[in-house]
Amino acid sequence: MDAISVIRTKRDRGELTPEQIDWVIDAYTRGEVADEQMSALAMAILLNGMNRSEIARWTAAMIASGERMDFSSLSRPTADKHSTGGVGDKITLPLAPLVAACGAAVPQLSGRGLGHTGGTLDKLESIPGWRALLSNEEMLHVLDTTGAVICAAGDGLAPADKKLYALRDVTGTVEAIPLIASSIMSKKIAEGTGSLVLDVKVGSGAFMKTIEDARELASTMVGLGTDHGVRTVALLTDMSTPLGLTAGNALEVRESVEVLAGGGPADVVELTVALAREMLDAAGIKDADPAKALADGSAMDVWRRMIAAQGGDPDATLPVAREQHVVTAPSSGVLTRLDAYGVGVAAWRLGAGRARKEDPVQAGAGVELHAKPGDTVTAGQPLMTLHTDTPEKFDYALKSLDGTYDVAPAGTSYEPTPVVLERIA
């Protein structure tokens, strides 16, 4: 077996054999296949695609490159959620303790933000003392004692994916749906969860801009989960407008705690409850009511135990940025559009996100929204507040907000986009 023949097969629109896939993934992980050879193969996959059997084998080969976790010792069924990323997407924070409060165990392996999309671990690290890096033994202990854990994936989980993801990021092949699907699902299947709910974002602030692309990605991932014995369902959800009223790290933690306390923005609550119901159903738990668990404080109790178990202080004061800048409404009327991508880029430029994975982030940086589409505003009213420790970033962030919102004359009708667009199972 050699890399050139594998590349040629896919370049010429052929189907890779199971033996070719197994060999190239293993050889690349070991360093026998060079980065430039794998980048050529990734580009051929981007241009020519893969069929379902190829994607399933590719995913299996990436899983086989590392360890598989085992939660069979737990007394509860396991359920996990994965989001493809968006702006203001803090859903994991209230969702994990909520589902745990309803009887499932939630082993949530999360990532960091890159570009305009936020990262769950960055958000939680704004809580003083909280630790993202846990050993497998620590992760299992937190899961067993609290019902939920949110942490970073260990180096032993699908190492082939970690290496290939970094390569795709610098070779213009991130968009290849077979590689996106196998990247996500190899980690989730290796994680060992019994069921999985996928939150596939659609819109300007999402990776998938169109409903057709999102549907293709979701269907591919649901198929992969099914092929590997993991009960999998996907919701396509709107990301044309930011979720909730905050995009940042500590800002989103604060809003998540509001949701757990029975309040918070309606769209965040709606999506959290919808995903919780899907996770509980996939785990075989039929009689729990997640809306009740938010209202009666039981989800908050799990949150506090989970944060404390990972070294965090749930009562600590969250960081606040040193500088603020208010953006006001240019005229009176109805706010009819607030582009998620523009808000996400502004939060990133203020210091909430990173351009490279090794860049630091500011805990208090981000964008706080004071109005959402459908709201009536008056000229000069605050639309959003920008937060940062480095005020020289304001001008750069403001440029990303040019043309990202529209105010129509008073009386203009506005038809909101549903939070959940489709369900794929």
Rounded Cα gap, residues 286 and 336, in angstroms:
39
Rounded Cα gap, residues 195 and 230, in angstroms:
5
User: Is 107 in contact with 149 (CB distance < 8 Å)?
Assistant: yes
Which one of the listed residues 110, 183, 256, 400 is annotated catalytic?
183
Tokens representing 424 are 């794929």
395 classed as catalytic: no
CB burial of residue 416 (10 Å; 0-12, 13-18, 19+): exposed
Rounded Cα gap, residues 294 and 100, in angstroms:
12
90 classed as catalytic: no
Q: Which residues partner with 236 through β-bridges?
A: 200, 422
82 classed as catalytic: yes
Rounded Cα gap, residues 231 and 419, in angstroms:
23
State the SS3 of 194-263.
CEEEEEEEECCCCCECCHHHHHHHHHHHHHHHHHCCCEEEEEEEECCCCCCCEEECHHHHHHHHHHHCCC
Which one of the listed residues 82, 116, 349, 387 is annotated catalytic?
82
Which one of the listed residues 168, 215, 304, 305 is annotated catalytic?
168
User: Is 158 in contact with 30 (CB distance < 8 Å)?
Assistant: no
**Residues written for the chain:** 425
User: Is 87 in contact with 205 (CB distance < 8 Å)?
Assistant: yes
DSSP per-residue string spanning 340-404? HHHHHHHHIIIIIS-SSTT----SS-EEEES--TT-EE-TT-EEEEEEES-GGGHHHHHHHTTTS
Question: At 130, is the secondary structure helix, strand, or coil?
Answer: coil
DSSP per-residue string spanning 37-99? HHHHHHHHHHHH---HHHHHHHHHHHHHTS-----TTSSS-B-EEEE---SS--THHHHHHHH
CA atoms within 13 A on the CB side of 168: 22
182 classed as catalytic: no
187 classed as catalytic: yes
User: Is 77 in contact with 194 (CB distance < 8 Å)?
Assistant: yes
Which one of the listed residues 80, 122, 161, 339 is annotated catalytic?
161
Rounded Cα gap, residues 69 and 157, in angstroms:
8
Which residues form the catalytic set? 82, 161, 168, 183, 187
